Chain A
Amino acid sequence: MAVSGLLGLRLERRANASRAMLLVTPPLAVLLTVLSGAVLFAALGFDPVKALMSYFVAPISTRYGIGELAVKATPLAMIGIGLALGFRGNVWNIGAEGQLTLGAICAGGLALAFHGQEGPWLLPLMMLAGAAGGLAYGAIPAWLRTRFNANEILTSLMLTYVGTLLLSYLVTGPWKDPDGFNFPESRLFNDAALLPIILDGTRMHLGAPLALLAVVVGWVIVARTLIGFQIKVVGLTPIAAGYAGFSQARTIWFTLLLSGGLAGLAGAIEVAGPIGQLQPSISPGYGFTAIIVAFLGRLHPVGVLLAALLMALSYLGGEHAQIELGLPLALTGVFQGMLLFFLLASDFLVHYRLRRVAPPGVRAARGRVGEARRRWTSFP
């Protein structure tokens, strides 16, 4: 252990993961990110305090700003819940962006198909179509993984590029607005295909309560159900899952369909909510940011909700700081990446603790991950 060894400390695995650390480390990571942000702002030649205020405080100091926070947190929480469940089971769906795109295509296609003949049935149908689209798109990596053992990380990601290109084709080709001066956009949806605003003076729409509902459902799954337990066991120890009679394939299918469906629903909400039409780009990378949301939320639905709000703030802050201070928009991505790094780095405090070094020879004798189990049983 190069680093800790230098400090005269030794890393030791905790017998029980530290619950305190589990709760303390996310705020710690946020704090470190903010501090690094200050340094970064200073390096870019901005007053760090002013820049931080403009980034993290100003955007949500108005009613409208709060509404925007909800608008951005909605897809993040919704997708994050699904991804967190998958990550618990070691199912790495990182193609949520693609599933979101497919959801948007399905919902948007419906809105365009029934343009001019809408009824109150249209919106629910769009949401269902969006979820179905994302779910079907999530089914592809599930099938490839369970049938052919193909890595879902790579397949789901490749499908994201395919999905984005498909959307690009649709809005530049068959679904292009006939009166749109050749812009690559669909026509604007009619009101019946738009989610109603639920907070006056803001853009907060019906999607926000839907996301909250997803959080509650996610919590029930994680905390109360057999499938939630099953996902956890499959993620921790697949062999023990086989022993318990839990099917790994079933877990893969369930989590990919669920996370795909939720991402698709988020896509439907985006096009029926803040966007109101189909465009070549319907998401500023929500599907990828939701990965950070899932981890920052400790793969727990309640944590995911908080993390989604924080990440939504980072989007708002990025936009606000760009307008107000002329800070580059790319800072958002840097902040998000940094936050995840700090969280992962502090993670080791949950499972390990630092101890002062005992006489050096002792080290090799104990707890070696890998062979540890076998050795451990025979060691006094």
Chain B
Amino acid sequence: MSAKPGMNGSSGAHPRLILRGITKRYPGVLANDRIDLTLGAGEIHALLGENGAGKSTLVQIVYGVVRADAGRILWNGAAVTVDGPAGARALGIGMVFQHFSLFESLTVAENVALGLDPKSEAGARDMAALSARIAEVSARYGLTLDPEARVFDLSVGERQRVEIVRCLLQDPSLLIMDEPTSVLTPQEADQLFETLRRLAAEGRTILYISHKLDEIRRLCDSATILRGGRVVATCDPRTETAPSLARLMIGEEVRATRKETAGAKPRMDELLRVEGLSMKATNPLGTPLHDVRLRLREGEILGIAGVAGNGQNTLLAALSGELPAPRADAIRFEGVSIGLEGARARRDRGINFVPEDRLGHGAVADLSLADNALLSGWRRWSLVRRGLVSFARSRERAEQVVARFSVAAPGAHAAARSLSGGNLQKFIIGREIMQRPRLLIAAHPTWGVDAGAAAAIHKALIELAASGAGVIVVSQDLDELFTLADRVAVICAGRLSASRPAHEVTAEDVGLMMGGLFDAAIAKGGGVPSETGDTRDGG
């Protein structure tokens, strides 16, 4: 990788990319409404907005995945049409998607090779030369990678590096990063920022998509803020505060979200106790658990933070009973050893579960909402008598959930597939809450859900806890955990940290623990400033 990005045809006189009046309409929604955007060389530009603000659509237009209905794209001053991702790459536009395009059973070098055009890149055919170039690029930008490692052995952060290296080998002059830190620990994110700054210093332009205010203020030179498909502001984020950016993004004064917790609640009885829980994962490639212990009281919300793939799935399976624990007394619920019980028996005890994957786990895509009510509620709601199902009563229950949780659906007969993500999630959470659980376990309850639905879901979870049930929320979203949880614990490499009251913990402590540094975080205690000096506060 010797060519400077400037050689990609930039004259220097024009901004690298100008978008004028980009408009894109989907059935029922105007995703992009006359969007203007200007990106200069060497600039790190934030594209800020909530889920559904139109960020993804806009960058997919730039990257050629989606064709705009109207508007112009000027690349180094010349009008262009981007015909697909290959055309974008030919122009010098690279993109790192939020969801990786990786092949687990193949090596890093093979994964990179698959992303290169064999005609344009000499190295793509000779794997040895390619490995050498990967090593070179890795070293240059601080992206440590072993070209011969297989992807299934890599952490999420390392996987992202594979994606970035794949992009950099094509020598892009514009690099689009789509929510890159959503899967990283704060420390990994810092490393990434370092890399991005080096790239910008070489004159490359970075378009950085995020809804995380702090990191945008730390990283970006300029920001374009989208709301409801329109540009609502362009600003220098370094001169803004997090609340002022949030106001622009959401359009109203943000509420103080952290729960009032300390001492507000009377001491309730212990509901759940997990001790010495060690077990293998469901999937041979999953993360096993090591000596997990946790306690939960009635009325308490426990937040479990952690980077994806650190044993959350195994822990959730163990708690929900989908994968029973190896020992009965590893999990005790209301004083009874339930470790060996399966999902059905646990649900009979009032342990309900909202899984991460809505359409393939918490609901069956092709079945109606009524059938999906039957799916988890058939025991608690007594929808089955002597092996015969009462479909009328299932329908009734589904309709109740739809009504009480304001699910936008044509009725109980609608297939789960036909609902939007947020509405389906409201339905699933509503379905579990209306079964009056004693303990609700929710995984990533607002992942990919729009702001309105997320607020409704948070409210429902808090009310459930207020009614005396215990709630465990597993999430990667620290803001969410600090909004909800009374106590916070962190899972890393299959081990769970001790939980601590949410108001005593800083986001940075959690970040250290997400990287496995349990002791460091504990030793530092609560409010000691970090070495990076950044003050993430969940707001």
Which residue of A is nearest B67, CB measured?
A361
Q: How many A-B residue pairs have CB under 8 A?
A: 119
Interface size of A by CB at 8 A reads 35
Whether a CB of chain A sits under 8 angstroms from the CB of B387 is yes
With the chains together, A371 CA to B67 CA distance in Å? 21
Residue pair B67, A359 in contact (C-beta under 8 Å): yes
Q: How distant is B26 from chain A, measured CB to nearest CB, in Å?
A: 6
Interface size on B, residues (CB 8 A): 58
> Would A359 and B69 be within 8 Å (CB), given that A15-B418, A236-B364, A237-B365 are in contact?
yes
| Contact A240-B389, Cβ < 8 Å, known A373-B357, A373-B359, A378-B448 | no
From A24-32, A123-131, A154-162, A226-234, give the one contacting chain B. A226-234
Residues of B within 8 A of A20 (CB): none
Q: Is B56 in the interface zone, CB < 8 Å from A?
A: yes
Min CB distance A287 to B, Å, is: 29
Q: Please encode chain A, from 352 to 375, with 1 for each CB lying within 8 Å of some chain B CB and 0 for all others.
A: 000000011110110000010111
Query: Does A380 belong to the interface (CB within 8 Å)?
Result: yes
Residues of A close to B83: CB separation below 8 A: 361
Q: Chain B contacts of A226 at CB under 8 A?
A: 378, 384, 387-389
Indicate whether A61 reaches chain B with its CB closer than 8 angstroms.
no
Closest B residue, CB atoms, query A16: B415
Point out the residues of chain A lying under 8 angstroms from B1, CB to CB: none
Per-position 1/0 for B294-327, Cβ under 8 A of A: 0000000000000000000000000011100000
B477 to chain A, nearest CB (A): 13
- Name the CB-closest residue of A to B179: A378
Give Cα A232 to B379, complex, Å: 18
B360 within 8 A of partner (CB): yes
Cα–Cα, bound, A362→B387 (Å): 47
Q: Which residue from B29, B365, B379 sits with its C-beta under 8 Å from A380? A: B29
User: Which stretch from B9-17, B342-350, B455-463 is at the chain A interface?
Assistant: B342-350
| Interface window among A65-73, A75-83, A207-215, A241-249 | A241-249
Q: Are B66 and A362 in contact (CB under 8 A)?
A: yes
User: Which residues on the A side are within 8 Å of B345 (C-beta)?
Assistant: 245
Contact B387 A374 (CB under 8 A): no
Q: A15-B418, A378-B51 are in contact. Are A373 and B99 (CB under 8 A)?
A: no
Known A237-B365, A240-B375, A245-B347: A380·B57 in contact at CB below 8 Å: yes
Residue in contact with A361 in the complex, picked from B84, B364, B449, CB distance below 8 Å:
B84
| Cβ distance B58 to chain A, nearest Cβ, rounded Å | 11
0 or 1 for each of B339-382: is its CB under 8 Å from A? (1 = yes): 00011110100000101011111111111000100111011000
| Chain B min CB distance to A148 (Å) | 16
Q: Are A15 and B360 in contact (CB under 8 A)?
A: no
In Å, the complex CA distance between A225 and B383 comes to 11
B24: nearest chain-A partner, CB-CB? A362
Question: Is B154 on the interface with A (CB-CB < 8 A)?
Answer: no
Q: With a CB–CB cut-off of 8 A, which chain A residues contact B360?
A: 237, 239-240, 373
Select from chain B the residue with minimum beta-carbon distance to A237: B364
A280 and B84 CA atoms in complex are apart in Å by 62
Task: Give the residue name and chain of the B residue nearest to A221 (CB).
Answer: B387
How far is B32's CA from A362's CA once the two chains are assembled, in angstroms? 14
Decide yes or no whether A224 CB sits under 8 A from chain B. Answer: yes
Chain A positions within 8 Å of B376 at CB level:
243-244
| Closest residue of B by beta carbon distance from A239 | B361
What chain B residues lie within 8 Å of A232 (beta carbons)? 367
Please give, as numbers and ranges, the residues of chain A lying within 8 Å of B57 by CB-CB distance. Answer: 365, 380
Interface residue? B414 (CB, 8 A): yes
Interchain CB contact (< 8 A) of B60 among A227, A233, A365: A365
In the complex, B447 has a CB within 8 A of chain A = yes
Beyond A365-B65, A380-B29, A380-B57, is A15–B99 a contact (Cβ under 8 Å)? Answer: no
Q: Nearest A residue to B419 by beta-carbon distance? A: A15
**In whole angstroms, what is the CA distance A247 to B342 when docked?**
10
Tell me the residues in window 6-42 of chain A with beta carbons closer than 8 Å to chain B beta carbons.
15-17
Which residues of chain B (410-442) have a CB below 8 Å from chain A? 414-415, 417-418, 421
Q: Cβ of A240: which chain B residues have Cβ within 8 Å of it?
A: 360-364, 375
> Would you give the shortest CB distance from B8 to chain A, in whole angstroms?
23
| A379 vs chain B, min Cβ distance (A) | 7
B421/A378 in contact, CB under 8 A: yes
Q: Which of B68, B69, B343 contacts A242 (CB 8 A)?
A: B343
Give A251 to B43 CA distance when docked, in angstroms.
58
**Do B26 and A380 touch across chains, with their CB atoms under 8 A apart?**
yes
The answer for the CA separation of A126 and B447 in the assembled complex, in Å, is 59
Residues of A within 8 A of B51 (CB): 378
Cα of A240 to Cα of B428 in the assembled complex, Å: 12
CB of A75 to closest CB in B, whole Å: 28
Q: Say yes or no: is A341 at the interface (Cβ < 8 Å to chain B).
A: no
B389 touches A229 (CB 8 A): yes
Q: State A338–B374 Cα separation when bound (angstroms).
A: 39
- The answer on a CB contact under 8 Å between A229 and B371 is yes
* Contact A236 B367, beta carbon cutoff 8 Å: yes
For residue B157, CB closer than 8 A to chain A, the reply is no
Give 6 new A-B contacts, CB below 8 A, not counting A225-B388, A243-B322. Answer: A226-B384, A236-B366, A245-B343, A365-B66, A377-B447, A378-B56
Q: What would 8 A/B residue contacts be, using CB atoms closer than 8 Å? A: A225-B388, A226-B388, A236-B365, A242-B322, A243-B355, A373-B365, A374-B99, A380-B54
Query: Chain B: residues with CB nearer than 8 A to chain A?
Result: 26, 29, 31, 51-52, 54, 56-57, 60, 64-69, 83-84, 98-99, 320-322, 342-345, 347, 353, 355, 357-367, 371, 374-376, 378-379, 384, 387-389, 414-415, 417-418, 421, 447-449
